Amino acid sequence: MDTSEEQFEPLSRAEELRILEGDDPAFSHARAYLEPLVRQALIRIDIAPDDFDVMKTRILDQVPVAAQRFLSQSDRPFSFAVYFTWYIHETVG
């Protein structure tokens, strides 16, 4: 279980869009950006230590789909990080 203390540092919406628009097809930069957010969310819920890394991977594997959907409607008034919290919530549910 990886519960390191790296804090999520949200970027501006413009900075997030630059990452998404310039990222590779797997959205590896977006994935790295969101990893601390996912880790912090999982630490806050009651999840078995054995399931932590599996759940973290399952959530982060959704980054490419979420990024493509977000970019297809980039006029959204909120950030990608906020948008991605819905994916976290739906996966952990």
What gap in Å lies between CA 16 and CA 79, rounded to an integer? 7
Domain ranges of the chain: 20-92
CB 42 within 8 A of CB 56: yes
31-82 pLDDT per residue, tens: 999 999 999 999 998 888 889 999 999 999 999 999 999 999 878 889 999 9
pLDDT of residue 56: 96
- Give 17's contacts (C-beta < 8 A, 6+ positions apart): 71, 74, 80
Q: For the whole model, what pTM was predicted?
A: 0.90
CB 30 within 8 A of CB 19: yes
